Amino acid sequence: MAFEYDEFGLLKTEHQGWASLRYRYDEFDRLHEMVLPDGQALAYHRDTAGLLSGIDLNGQPLTRHRMASTGEEVERQQGELLSAYVYDDEGRLTQHRIHQGRLKDISAQRDYQYDPIGNLKSIQDSRKGLRQYVYDPMDRLVGVRGDLYEQLIHDPAGNLLEQNLGASSGQSANVRGNRLTMHGDSHYEYDEFGNLIEERRGKGQKLVTRYTYDCEHRLTSVTTPDCSIWHYEYDAFGRRIAKTNGLTRTEFLWQGDRLIAEETGDQYRTYLYEPDSFKPLALVDGHGPEQAEVYYYHLDHLGTPQELTSQHGRLVWSVTYRAYGNVVQQQVSEIDNPLRFQGQYHDPETGLHYNRHRYYNPNTGRFITPDPIGLAGGLNNYQYVPNPTGWVDPLGLAAHEKRSPDSSINTELQASLRSLPEGSYRVINQVDTPEKLGFANNRALEIELLQDVDGVRFYGGDAAKEGAFVAVGKIPNNLQHARQHLALSPFYDASGRSVYNTMDNLVDVRIQKAAKVLIGEVAPQQSRADRLYSGGGRRF
């Protein structure tokens, strides 16, 4: 792997083995163009408020978007289909309509209802029917009613003991120290680190699946009951880059933590996402502009794929899921789609979902290895999420709730949030700030961190190493550009002494999970010598 950056510290080329990704940015350091490994080119367009208005593929429209002033997407053109979205006052999706062209009748519709606490109450799907959800006093999902009937039972630690279609089987799972030891007719064994190493099931437990790990607890091979052996390979960042069974080899390419392409023999496909998100936007089947066939994703309120359609609006893939993500029915399967919950890739050879840092088993609703970040990811280090109708975990590290409304946040503050990792925060409130804090328009967001977040501080000369402000997001690697970006002008302390930050030193600062901080855009500053410092960076 190799990475090239421009003079502002922005990534311009990313090399992974035989493939490369190339990036170009606009004057506000936002991604404007991306050249994919197979030579296809994406171009991102934004409106005057900086919100996404369209994406082109190879110079032709891929999608067009219309955003409300609050930042919510209200329309999306995908080929010949037009999607319209409706939200409630809390910014939650309440309706998704799909039209075959602007003036024609609705071809599909999903309506969402929520209870007073904010849990998803029901989904009315014009194609798949009605589904209603029941919760216990701790907001854990205990029942699904409607076109699919499920009953779920949890223990006090949040372990899923039963996940039955229909009535309870009367036989709960066995759990010891949050490790699942028996579930249905399956028996599980673990190594000394808590990694699942063996599953026995079937009559006399004769169907055996064995799991092997490397020294970093990454799954490296699986032996299935039919004696097939699958091997898995990873790069220096722990991303899975290949899987093979001796006959076939699939290689994977990444853009950060998102899977962007895969190749098996002469089959090649690309996955495109909504900007700064794990929500899939389109699947491009075929290598290069001449062979590419585009299919569009249609998602639910969590960002889980429900359907894929062709450029002409024909339905080519549609499934129904159980509550914890395993497919219970395929309505249409003209093409294959392995993407499941956000950040998950379905492996048909094992039934597991690769979830970036771990593997998830939808049959048990849990991961097969402990959380690599330990208790920072939650008290139960095998649990996927507390509630699968309202939470996601794109990285396999720490779940976060999707109901938190960001939609009422103004455009500038939304841009500040985009400087943070997806799912790393919970918005508490927009606040007015004193002018001395130096936030643009004297406005900032109060947020709670759901995971550790890294930032930096420049210091030197009269400026101390410790202080109240921490820069986050992209920082130019040219000192003068960084000074302008963060508006590090000379200032006067309480005693009237002039303070100047020479920026001789740079220190990494890790803000701990659960911290409550203010984040916003750095306002322009003018020194007493009338020199202007432009600002525009993001900081805590």
Domains of the chain: 1-32 (no CATH), 36-392 (2.180.10.10), 409-539 (no CATH)
Name the pLDDT band for 212 (thresholds 50, 70, 90): very high
Model pLDDT for residues 110-124, shown as the tens digit of each residue: 999 999 889 999 999
Task: Look up the pTM and report it.
Answer: 0.79
Contact predicate 114/125, CB 8 Å: no
Would you say the C-alpha torsion 299, 305, 311, 313 has a positive or negative sign?
negative
- Tell me the C-alpha distance between 415 and 423, whole Å: 15
Residue 142: which pLDDT band, with cuts at 50, 70 and 90? very high
Instruction: Look at residue 376 in the predicted model and tell me its pLDDT.
Output: 84
Confidence class for position 169, pLDDT limits 50, 70, 90 = low
Burial 507-533 (b: 16+ CB within 10 A, else e): eebebebeeebbbbbbbebeeeeeeeb
DSSP state of 172: P
Digit-coded pLDDT (tens) for 55-86 = 999 999 999 999 987 778 999 999 999 999 99
pLDDT reading at 175 higher than 50: yes
In sign, the C-alpha dihedral spanning 321, 325, 330, 332 is: positive
Q: ∠456-458-459 over CA atoms, to 5°? A: 135
Q: Listing from the earlier edge strand, what are the strands of the sheet with 516-521? A: 425-432, 443-449, 516-521, 538-539, 471-472, 453-461, 501-511
Per-residue confidence band for 491, with pLDDT thresholds at 50, 70 and 90: low
**Tokens for 36?**
């994919």
> Residue 427: what pLDDT?
83
pLDDT at 86: 96
pLDDT of 102 > 80? The answer is no
Query: In this structure, which amino acid lies at residue 412?
Result: E
Spatial CB neighbours of 30, under 8 Å, sequence gap ≥ 6: 44, 46, 50
Q: Which two tokens stand for residue 130?
A: 């009605």
For residue 186, the model assigns a pLDDT of: 95
Grade residue 177 by pLDDT with cuts at 50, 70 and 90.
very high
The most distant pair of C-alpha atoms in the chain lies apart, rounded to whole Å, by: 84
Residues contacting 111, CB < 8 A, separation 6+:
94, 95, 122, 123, 124
pLDDT, the chain, mean: 90
Residue 459, SS3? strand
pLDDT at 492 over 70: no
| Dihedral angle of Cα 345, 350, 356, 357, to the nearest 10 degrees | 160
User: Is the pLDDT reported for residue 47 higher than 90?
Assistant: no
Q: What is the pLDDT of residues 379-390, one digit of tens each?
A: 999 999 999 999
pLDDT at 406 (0 to 100): 47
| Residue 298: C-alpha distances to residues 72, 109, 111, 282, 460 (Å) | 16, 11, 14, 9, 51
- Distance, in Å, from the CA atom of 362 to the CA atom of 384, rounded to the nearest integer, reads 9
Q: What's the start-to-end Cα distance of the chain, in Å?
A: 32
Share of the chain above pLDDT 90, in %: 64
Asked if residue 503 lies in contact with residue 35, where contact means CB atoms within 8 angstroms, the answer is no
Residue 249: pLDDT band (50, 70, 90) is very high
Average pLDDT of 317-325?
98
164 pLDDT above the threshold of 50: yes
Give dist(CA 151, CA 153) in Å, integer.
7
Residues in the chain: 540
pLDDT category at 408 given cuts 50, 70, 90 is: very low
**Average pLDDT, integer, range 311-329:** 97
What is the C-alpha separation between 227 and 349, in angstroms, rounded? 11
Q: What distance lies between CA 158 and its chain's CA centroid? A: 23
* Residue corresponding to tokens 């999420």: 385
- How sure is the predictor about 411, in pLDDT bands with cuts at 50, 70 and 90? low
**Per-residue pLDDT tens digits for 15-42:** 999 899 999 998 878 899 999 999 999 9
The residues, any chain, with a CB within 8 Å of residue 537's CB and separated by 6 or more, are: 471, 473, 475, 485, 486, 487, 521, 522
Position 106 scores a pLDDT of 82
Give residue-wise pLDDT tens across range 327-381: 999 999 999 999 999 999 999 999 999 999 999 999 999 999 999 999 888 899 9
Distance of CA 266 to the CA centre of its chain: 29
Q: What is the pLDDT of residue 48?
A: 81
Instruction: Find the range with the poorest average confidence among 59-73, 137-151, 168-182, 218-232.
Output: 168-182
Quick one: pLDDT at residue 407? 41
Residue 126 has a pLDDT of: 96
Max avg pLDDT among 41-55, 334-348, 517-531: 334-348
Residue pLDDT, tens place only, 226-241: 999 999 999 999 999 9
